[in-house]
Structure 1
Amino acid sequence: MRHHAVMISIILTTGCSGEDMASNKAGVQPMLGAVMHSKPDEVRRLAEQGIGLNERDPANQSTPMIAAAETMQWGMVEVLIDHGADIWAYDQFGITAAQQTETSRVVPGSNEDQARLRVIAKLKARGYPFPPPKSDEVLELVRKGRWPPAGTWS
């Protein structure tokens, strides 16, 4: 029965919701679509069901967490981390969500900034190095088979 509920959820999310979501028509997965359309309630709902936590954008291999971080949606990043998204994910350019914490332009002290600070704390608690490695360093570590670093967890 749970399988049927998940399938219905995917169908509703990806094309039968009555809302014109052009990105879903273009083949974007449900979680990426929810992030791209700034739908925090949908991100939470999907995350709670374990749907699409580590989906990859076919264009650049970005994940929902990277996309949310790039658009400074730190509350969404926090939800994704809390539900098991891969904190070590990187896109084709070596960009990670952790790198975005350093360059974010959210207003200091705002709710998004507070979420960004919680994200940093959660990443550090899981062994993520800070300051985070730059994109070219990530790609080099991947090439050497040293990413993620040994002894870390998602």
Structure 2
Amino acid sequence: MRNPRREGLEWLPMRRHLSIVLFLVMAAAGGLGLIAQENRKGDAMSISDIYPDALDARGQSIIFKRVMEEDMAAIEALLDAGLDVDIRGSFNATPALRAAIADIWPVVEVLLERGADPMVTDRRGLTIPWLATTSRIGGDGPRARALGRVRARLADQGYLSAMYSPQEVTRMVTEGRWPPAP
């Protein structure tokens, strides 16, 4: 039976109580607009999509999962919330480098526009200029068009003339000569 003296939040189901608390915290932080944004699947964004310190099941930043899903809205929300665009994940890769490894060039393009360093390297010596030059993406699809724009951007900034193989990069890192002087 209900106790009329206890007519407060304690009668709400725990999930609803936590939702109300989360709503109030987000309202105070000015982040309610981000919760209402839609991702590409049409689902409301989760709190991890706007919390820059959120980790996935493997303990790395949630942005790496969003990169692989090509979830631009969540990527932008994480960066807008203060996440470092060059945060490191597995193999010491950054989100832009991870996207380049997977040939997800539209994401690489956005991350470069947001300030990602194209000369970062992972443990294997991979770099965005090397991956852009050796990519086999062809045709006229969105990934191919984005790859063309990324290549043009890298060429304009002089990065394609300073392209190194992964073996050269690994050697230069070991010798303390990475990144090379522009």
TM-score normalised according to structure 1 size: 0.75
Partner of 2:137: 106
Please tell me the residue identity of whatever aligns with 1:28. Answer: Q
Unaligned 5+ segments in structure 2 are: 1-28, 36-45
Q: Does 1:55 align with 2:87?
A: yes
Change (3 A) 1:146 1:126: farther
Change (3 A) 1:24 1:119: same
* 2:67 and 2:75 in contact (8 A); partners too: yes
Aligned with 2:92: secondary structure? coil
Q: Does 1:148 align with 2:179?
A: yes
In structure 1, C-alpha distance between the alignment counterparts of 2:133 and 2:160, rounded to whole Å:
12
2:168 to 113, 131, 137: 137
* 2:133 and 2:151 in contact (8 A); partners too: no
Deviations 1:42-79 (A, max 9, x none): 2233334442311111x311111111011111110010
Please tell me the residue identity of whatever aligns with 2:96. Answer: M
Runs of 4+ off more than 4 Å: none
1:124 to 155, 161, 168: 155
Deviations 1:107-133 (A, max 9, x none): 322221111111111112222133721
In structure 2, C-alpha distance between the alignment counterparts of 1:124 and 1:85, rounded to whole Å:
16
Change (3 A) 1:113 1:50: farther
Q: Does 1:89 align with 2:104?
A: no
Larger radius of gyration: 2
Change (3 A) 1:136 1:74: same
RMSD: 2.9
Partner of 2:17: none
Q: Does 1:31 align with 2:66?
A: no
Unaligned 5+ segments in structure 1 are: 17-22
Q: CA deviation at 1:100?
A: 1.5
In structure 2, C-alpha distance between the alignment counterparts of 1:82 and 1:101, rounded to whole Å:
16
In structure 1, C-alpha distance between the alignment counterparts of 2:50 and 2:77, rounded to whole Å:
17
Partner of 1:46: 78
Structure possessing the higher relative contact order (Cα contacts under 8 Å, 6 or more residues apart): 1
In structure 1, C-alpha distance between the alignment counterparts of 2:58 and 2:50, rounded to whole Å:
11
* 1:32 and 1:55 in contact (8 A); partners too: no
Aligned length: 140
